[in-house]
Every structure is written in C-alpha cells, then in structure tokens.
Amino acid sequence: MNATDWQRAQTVFSAALNLPESEREAYCAQATSGNPELSRVVLELLAADRASALDRPYVAEIPQADFAEPAENLVGAILGNYRCERLVSTGLFSTVYFGHRVDGLLRRDVAVKHLHADGRDLRASTRFTNEVDVLALIDHHAICRIHDVVLTEKGHRCAILEWISGRRIDDACDADRLSVRERIPILESLLQALSYLHESGFVHGDLKSEHVQVTGKGRIKLIDLGTARAIGQPATAGNFGFTPDFASPEQLRGRVLDARSDVYSLGVLMYKVLVGRYPMPLKGGLVHQVADAVLNIPPGIPAEILLERATESELAAMRTDMRTAQAIAHARATSVQTLQALLSTDLSLILLRAVQKDPKDRYQSADELAADLRSWMHQRSTVAALHRATLLRKDTHMQLDSLRVFLCHCSDDKAEVRVLYAKLRNLGALPWLDEEDLLPGQEWEEEIPKAVQHSDVVIVCLSEHSLTKKGYVQKEIRFALDAADEQPPGKIFVIPVRLSDCDVPDRLKRWQWVNLFDTGGFERLAKALKLRAAQNQSRS
C-alpha cells in the first residue's frame, strides 16, 4: 500500500470510529468501494481497535519520502517570529521544517513541527499536546528544548523546537567506529538525561535508536517526548503509540509505568549500541508477535548472540540485524574474538540485568545503571555481578556442579580463552585462569602444579598461534601434563581443545579432542565436562 492509500485508510478509519460499532463496517464498505486492498486495511484496523493492545497491528517503518505532501505547505511561511526555510521530513501526522528566527533580536535556528492532522485525529493531537506540555515543564541540556507554540493561517499548531543536527545513536557510533569503551560515556550522558526526566516526574515511554541523537560535537539529545507520561500512569492511558521492539513487558501489558520501564527500553538500546544485536529474536510485524518474544523469551547472553545467525523467518520479516559478527566487530574497531571477550565480562551481566522481565529484577533507576557502568569502566566490582546466578540463562542438564577446570593456554590465545572461561563459569564450573587466579607475588612455576593437582579437568587449548611457540608446547603443556601424570589414574581428565584448525601434538593424541570452532563444539565439550561432574558426584 502506498502512502496516499495509507492516509486515506487512516481517514476512513478515524471517521468510522465516530460511528456506532454496528454501522462501521457498512460505512467502510461504502467509503472504500472499488478498492479491495483499502477495504481490507481499514477492516483490519477496526478489528485491531476492538482487540487487546497486544493484538494491535504495528507498522514498524513507513518511508517518509512516500508520504503525500500535507495540505498546508509552510516553506517560506512566517510563523510568529520564525520563518520556515525548507522541508526536513514528513510523517503521517506531522511535518518538520528547518527554520530560523527573523525578528533580528536573536539569532536562532529552529525545527518547526507542524501538526497537519490537527483536529482530525485525536491520537495525533493528543500526542502533540503531550509532547508540548512535557517539554514546557522540563529543561535539560541533553533533552530537546521547546521555544514556542504558534498557529498557521489554517489554525494548525506548530511547535518551535530546538534545531538538532545529529545522527541516531547506533548509526553514529558505528559510522565513527567507536570502541565499546568509547560508547559507554555516550550512554552515561543519556542516562543522566533520563534520570533528570524521571526526577521531574515523567517516563519517556518510547526510548529507541531514532529518539536518541548524537550531534556533531558528540553530545546526546533525547527527542520526541510524545509518548512521555507522568510516572504511575498506565501505558494505555491517552492511547499513546510506542515502539513494541523497545517496550518493556509491563508497557506491552498496559500496566502502570515507572522509571524501570525506561530502564528496560534503554537496556534494549544498549544491546543495539554495544552488542549490535537485539536481546531476543523477533518474528513477525504484529504487536502480539513482538510481545511473545519480549514476554516469553529470555534475553540472550551478549557474547553468544553476537555469533548467532538470523533465522529465515526473521530475515523475511526484517526483524533482526543481518550483519555478521565480523561486521559488528569492525564497527567497534576490534576483532570478533576481542569483542566476545569484552562481552564476557561483567558488562554482559549489566546488560542482562537491565532487560529482566520482572521490574524488581532490573536496575531500579537510571542512576543505578549508570553507577554500574562506571564501576565496570574503572574495573571495580559491579552490582550486577552479585546477581550472576539469576541473570545467566541456566541449562540445567548441562550444569557442571563446581567442576574444577584448569585452562592451559598460550598468551596469544588469551581473548578466546577468556570467552571459554566465562562460558564455563556460566555453567557452574570453577575454571582456573592465570590472569584471574594467580595473585600478585605468587610464583608461576609453584602455583601451576598446585592448580593442576586440585583440578578435575585439564583443558589444553591449541591453535596455530600456540603451536608455533616452542615455549608453550615444550614447557607449559609439558608442565601441566607432568603435574597431571603425578596424580592417581583417572583423577584428572585431559581434554585437548582446538581453538582453530591446527595439528595436535603427539603427547596429546591419545585423548580425543574437540574443535571449539565447529558448530556445537562447545556443547560437546560441556557434555564431556558434565560426565566428569557426574562421576565426581558418584564418588562423593
């Protein structure tokens, strides 16, 4: 359906809503006579209006260029002290122009938001009034400011807003190839603005990439407060629209909203900005299909969903990021392995805590989330880490019951081994990694045998890098295996793990190895470790 027909469908739909329900379908049949597609859309809108909020159809994107020109063209028009210079964008209910002040008393560029459906669509009018009222009550450098409200010659309202020349936050960060650590301060600025909004008594209600702009000076601007509402107001009050992809579970259910709903939406945005993925797989374009994922599918662990490929149904519905992990890592000026390692730290737990289904399990405020991000940036302990057990998705049949695992590896493979370390911890194992467990002042040659002796499993990590380092093959591997050989038979499992396609040293060939780079490779490793954990339990 083109933009003209869509606007006509909206007009017929709005008119039908003013009629008794028993007369609506007959009116629509008459008003759309000769256009079956138009009739179908209007009838679907009427059916959706009768349905619950979760069953309403959601139009994710309608290209702005496809919309018909509004009835009133304001290019060149003088509105109070302001002149509209050029058209910037046209939406379904409003048009935005670039303009400036012309009375000579003050030099100021502005955005003129023209509500061309004023008086004809209650939802658009309510949203416009809501945005104007909220902006008039707040004043923060990172939130779009309002200067005035004026009327056109036809009596339509125009909001005179701060002119913001920027890019949506995820596009700006990717285009500038900002690292994950360089993106955190930008998110902290957004959290400060959000905290101010909450302290002023409002929730934004529609936080998403498009509503967070980054200016040429790298500053954050939060825009479009048409869905903002007083804290404690139900999500369905006022019939405000929102974007289901970023909406909290309580917002989709039409519950009363508070700051934690915005925290959830910001958590989804953080996934997009830092991980380059949406937390859950989305399928289909109806609200109930999006809600099914938001309400029922647990958020993915960042380091894992980075590598996940979109399903055919997700690609067909255009509901997922189609970029490869390599492209996402490139946009963050790093490698996939390094990005995975970074996302396997407490940053993963911070992201997971922000998007928990139950509001009481999330950060309770924007300030709490900002504080944990600062702790992570300064390598301090985080609040999220205290909730590791409840945040990480547990595969109960794969739990490793405190299995002690020694990770023998080459320094060149540190990034991949950190990811392996995090995955093992997530399954309940107790992996030993020198950079995590070797304390300052301890002697390496003394502590390694102790760690091996107290281990249930020794994992020997192999790669093209490690096998070219004679010191690793001749010293580190030998050191670990000699310590293992000193133990009674069967006390310690040895598992060679190939991180890449490489040879296996002769001394390790008597044990079956696993290719971690193969699909299902980690699952095979986890199965072997689970077997070892079960044997430990049977002995105890």
Q: Does 60 fall in a domain?
A: no
Let me know: does 302 contact 273? Beta carbons within 8 Å. Answer: no
Last residue of a domain, one of 162, 181, 213: 162
Q: Name residue 67's amino acid.
A: F
pLDDT at residue 397, as a whole number: 44
Claim to verify: residue 402 and residue 382 sit in the same structural domain: no
Claim to verify: residue 387 and residue 400 sit in the same structural domain: no
Angle between helix 477-485 and 444-453 (nearest 10): 50
pLDDT tens, residue by residue, 373-412: 999 999 999 999 999 888 875 444 446 667 899 998 888 8
Claim to verify: residue 336 and residue 195 sit in the same structural domain: yes
Cα–Cα distance measured from residue 238 to residue 233, given in angstroms and rounded to the nearest whole number: 10
Strands in 166-168's sheet, in edge-to-edge order, are 166-168, 212-215, 220-222
Q: Six-digit token pair at 290?
A: 């999006």
Number of residues in the chain = 540
CA distances from 8 to 14, 35, 49 (A): 10, 11, 17
pLDDT at residue 198, as a whole number: 96
- Tell me the pLDDT band of 467, cut-offs 50, 70 and 90: confident
Residue 64 DSSP code:
G
Which residues lie below 8 Å from residue 501, measured CB to CB, with a gap of 6+?
A: 464, 515, 517
Q: Does 477 fall in a domain?
A: yes
Highest mean pLDDT among 151-155, 186-190, 205-209, 340-344: 186-190
pLDDT at residue 396, as a whole number: 42
Q: Does 369 fall in a domain?
A: yes
Q: Among 283-297, 505-519, 521-535, where is mean pLDDT lowest?
A: 283-297
pLDDT at residue 66, as a whole number: 37
Give the CATH number, domain containing residue 84.
3.30.200.20
**Number of Cα atoms under 13 Å in the Cβ half of residue 166:** 25
User: How many other CB atoms sit within 10 Å of the CB of residue 208?
Assistant: 21
Q: Does 290 fall in a domain?
A: yes
**Residue numbers of the domain that contains 203:** 169-391
Let me know: does 116 contact 72? Beta carbons within 8 Å. Answer: yes
% the chain with pLDDT above 70: 81
CA distances from 341 to 65, 255, 281, 413, 502 (A): 42, 38, 22, 11, 22
Q: Does 360 fall in a domain?
A: yes
pTM, rounded to two decimals:
0.65
Question: Can you state the percent helix, strand and coil of the chain, rounding each to 5?
Answer: 50, 15, 35
Let me know: does 302 contact 180? Beta carbons within 8 Å. Answer: no
Cα–Cα distance measured from residue 156 to residue 225, given in angstroms and rounded to the nearest whole number: 20
Claim to verify: residue 114 and residue 20 sit in the same structural domain: no
Highest mean pLDDT among 145-159, 162-176, 451-465: 162-176
Calculate the average pLDDT of the chain.
82
Count: domains in the chain: 4
Q: What angle do CA 330, 293, 310 make, to 5 degrees?
A: 35
Give the pLDDT mean for 203-220: 91
Tell me how far apart the terminal alpha carbons of the chain are, to the nearest angstrom: 68
User: How many other CB atoms sit within 10 Å of the CB of residue 411?
Assistant: 14
Which residues lie below 8 Å from residue 140, measured CB to CB, with a gap of 6+?
A: 193, 196, 197
Claim to verify: residue 80 and residue 33 sit in the same structural domain: no
User: How many other CB atoms sit within 10 Å of the CB of residue 215?
Assistant: 13
pLDDT tens, residue by residue, 84-111: 999 988 776 678 999 999 988 888 999 9
Q: What is the 3-state secondary structure (H, E, C) of 218-265?
A: CCEEECCCCCCEECCCECCHHHCCCCHHHCCHHHHCCCECCHHHHHHH
pLDDT tens, residue by residue, 231-242: 987 765 334 467
Sign of CA dihedral 191, 193, 196, 202: negative
Last residue of a domain, one of 357, 391, 425: 391
Give the CATH number, domain containing residue 382.
1.10.510.10
pLDDT tens, residue by residue, 16-74: 766 666 777 888 888 888 788 788 777 766 665 554 333 333 333 333 333 334 557 88
Which residues lie below 8 Å from residue 133, measured CB to CB, with a gap of 6+?
A: none
Claim to verify: residue 343 and residue 401 sit in the same structural domain: no
Highest mean pLDDT among 203-212, 413-422, 423-432: 203-212
Cα–Cα distance measured from residue 204 to residue 227, given in angstroms and rounded to the nearest whole number: 6
Cα–Cα distance measured from residue 183 to residue 189, given in angstroms and rounded to the nearest whole number: 10
Q: 505-527 as b/e, with b when 16 or more CB fall inside 10 Å?
A: beebeeeeebbbeeeeebeebbe
Claim to verify: residue 158 and residue 173 sit in the same structural domain: no
Q: Does 23 fall in a domain?
A: yes
Claim to verify: residue 204 and residue 298 sit in the same structural domain: yes
pLDDT at residue 540, as a whole number: 58
With tokens 């590791």, the residue in question is 388
Q: Among 113-117, 260-264, 280-284, 401-405, where is mean pLDDT lowest?
A: 280-284
pLDDT at residue 444, as a whole number: 78
Let me know: does 251 contact 257? Beta carbons within 8 Å. Answer: yes
Q: Name residue 217's amino acid.
A: K
Cα–Cα distance measured from residue 486 to residue 117, given in angstroms and rounded to the nearest whole number: 82
Helices (H), ranges, 413-500: 414-426, 434-437, 444-453, 464-467, 470-471, 477-485
Helices and strands (DSSP H and E) totals, the chain:
23, 16
Q: Which helix (H) or strand (E) holds 519?
A: none
pLDDT at residue 64, as a whole number: 35
φ, ψ at 406 (rounded to 5°): -95, 130
Let me know: does 214 contact 169? Beta carbons within 8 Å. Answer: yes
Q: Does 61 fall in a domain?
A: no
State the Cα torsion 391-269-421-383 to the nearest 10°. Answer: -50
CA 457 to chain centre: 36
Asked whether residue 430 carries a pLDDT value surpassing 80, the answer given is yes
Claim to verify: residue 320 and residue 373 sit in the same structural domain: yes
pLDDT at residue 320, as a whole number: 53
Q: Does 57 fall in a domain?
A: no
Look at residue 456 and give its three-state secondary structure: coil
- Tell me the pLDDT band of 474, cut-offs 50, 70 and 90: low
pLDDT at residue 411, as a whole number: 82
Give the CATH number, domain containing residue 418.
3.40.50.10140
pLDDT tens, residue by residue, 157-211: 899 999 999 999 999 999 999 999 999 999 999 999 999 999 999 999 999 999 9
Look at residue 167 and give its three-state secondary structure: strand
Highest mean pLDDT among 62-66, 240-244, 266-270, 422-426: 266-270
With tokens 């470790």, the residue in question is 529
Claim to verify: residue 149 and residue 265 sit in the same structural domain: no
- Tell me the pLDDT band of 361, cut-offs 50, 70 and 90: very high
- Residue, of 148 and 22, whose pLDDT is higher: 148
Beta bridge partners of 162: 110
pLDDT at residue 527, as a whole number: 87
% the chain with pLDDT above 90: 37
φ, ψ at 363 (rounded to 5°): -60, 140
Beta bridge partners of 111: 98, 161
Claim to verify: residue 240 and residue 285 sit in the same structural domain: yes
Q: Among 201-215, 262-276, 525-539, where is mean pLDDT lowest?
A: 525-539
Let me know: does 189 contact 182? Beta carbons within 8 Å. Answer: no
Claim to verify: residue 204 and residue 75 sit in the same structural domain: no
Last residue of a domain, one of 391, 423, 453: 391
